[in-house]
Every structure is written in structure tokens, then in C-alpha cells.
Amino acid sequence: MDGDELPGAERRVWAAMPAGTRSALAGLSGADLRTLLLGVARDRAAIVRPPEVVRRWGQDRFVRPARADPRVLARVEARMWQLLPADVAGVELSPVVPVGTCSAVAPVSQNRIVTTMRASEVLSDPTNALAIEAAVRRRRQSEVHLAAAHRVLRAQDFGSGASAHFRLFALVSSARDTGSGGTQARLLVRHLTYWRTVLAELAPAAAPQLHVTTFDNRVIRERLADTVRPALAGDVVPLVDEPERSRGRGYYTGCALRITALGGGLEIGDGGLTDWTARLSGDAKERCLVSCLATERLVDGLSR
């Protein structure tokens, strides 16, 4: 359900409740509200019968299995782990994160997140969770590079029979600013070099491309020209300027990335510079780059 529909649905539900219900619930402590909601869930679960579970299994897009072959995915992701530089730490993320993890660091509506009753939410983007872990590790490390492979669940309807859950292989790097865009350039080279290596080995026949867009940032544009592009010279996986892109403006800061296959016709990854670790640590000098690749889409592109 999107943000436009939700207010109307809320009004309908509250109108059906006894007067004062909303105020009473708002006055409960977090622990008491969770206790109440868990009790309601327990009562509702107690009346569910096996045929209803089977019906929901077939109709609820949140619970239907993915169509991807897990054996193929496992082989692809295993090789991606092997191709990671040795200084990138792997992180096995929890299926849930603190409620507000996504909306607190990125301009994303909570309506797109599957929120639980226990002050948590189902992980919808591993880069958000890795940014929190990076901010914590930065207290004791000069810079942090993390990776995770995780199945995420998102509440928005992607249409056309698309699954609500899918696997992402994600990278997050955080380091302190050294001035003149030097840190951002170094992180961009690191991420783009990795994705180019992955694509050149796993999808050379799928015409993979890396795309880059700068959002009104002269310094980053200069570093792309004099540092990033020379470091990624060659046409095995081309680095393509995408000045017309507007998606991600406000979500990414200064620069956005896109990973495609089939000559740009199939988007399989995304990323960009963010202010997430700066906000999480309260240090405006922190620089953070996130990027991810949808491994199921990569496998799909390989099969075409």
C-alpha cells in the first residue's frame, strides 16, 4: 500500500474504533504497546487453519518463494565473495533491523517497509544496515569496507508478477574526508573496480556497463575526470556517463552509480555517495559510498 492510500485506510480504521482508542494507544509505553499487539497477533494466529495457510502461500506476494534457482545463485555469490579484496569484511546481517533504520538515514517512506511488532523492521536494503555497522566500526578503524549478501523484503508492489523479496550483494565503504574529493574518488575507484571485475568474469557476454551521474557537484565531476576514469581505463566493462539521470537525487549526494546488462537494457545494480555515516556518527567529515547488485537479476541476464 503506498503513501497516498494509507491515510484513507487509517481514517476508515480509526472511524470504526470506539472513541478515545487512538489516544489510549498513543499513551501506552513502547513495551506495553508491543505486548498488546503481540497478544492480538497470538489471538488471530490461534484461529488460522491449515487450508488458510495454503491459500495465503499462493496469494500473498510477501511469502511466495522466489523463482530463481538457489544453486545457480549460490555459485554466483560464492564467486563474488572470492573476488572481494581481502580488506573488505563480510557481514552476515540479521533478517530484521531497528525500526526506522531505512527512513532515518534515507528519504524513504516507512510505508515501503515491512514493520514488525517488536520495534524492528524486516531488512529492506542491506546498505542501510551496513552503514550503521560501518559507523560503529569507524570508532576504532581508520576506514571501513563491508560487504553482505542478503535477501530483502520490500512492501511496495513492483508489478508484473515481480517478487517482493530478492537477493542483493552490497558494498559499503566509509572513511574520513581528506579534502578536494580525494576520499570520494578513492572509494568510487574501489567499488567500480570490484563491480567491473565481477561483470567481466561472470557476465562478459551480457554487454555489462557501469554508469555514473554527478549531481551538481563540481569537485566530484573533476575527480571523476582526473582520477576515477583513468583508473578504470579500458573497454571490457565501459564506464558510461549518464547526465540525464534524475532518479536518486536527494537520496545520493554528489554522485550516483548504475550497473546494467544487455547493453543498458537491464538494470542489475545501483549505488552512490551518501551522507549516512556522517549522520549516524554526527561527524560531517565522514564520507560513505554504497553500491549493490541484484544477483537474481544478474543470473536472469546471463540466461537471456
Exposure of 253 in the CB half-sphere (CA atoms within 13 A) = 17
Residue holding cell 559507523? 135
Domain boundaries, the chain: 6-47, 70-302
Inter-residue contact 159 to 201 (CB < 8 Å) = no
Which CATH number is correct for 70-302, 3.40.50.150, 3.30.930.10, 3.10.180.10, 3.90.1150.170? 3.30.930.10
Inter-residue contact 168 to 292 (CB < 8 Å) = yes
Q: What are the distances in angstroms from CA 197 to CA 88, 225, 271?
A: 15, 21, 17
Inter-residue contact 267 to 259 (CB < 8 Å) = yes
Strand 209-214 and strand 239-241: pairing?
parallel
Evaluate if pTM is beyond 0.85: yes
Q: What does the pLDDT profile of the chain (304 residues) look like in tens digits?
A: 343 445 677 888 888 889 888 889 889 898 898 899 889 889 999 999 999 999 999 889 899 999 899 999 999 999 999 999 999 999 999 999 999 998 888 888 888 899 988 889 999 999 999 999 999 999 999 999 999 999 999 988 877 778 899 999 999 999 999 999 999 999 999 999 999 999 999 999 999 999 999 998 999 999 999 999 999 987 789 999 999 999 999 999 999 999 999 989 999 999 999 999 999 999 999 999 999 999 999 998 777 7
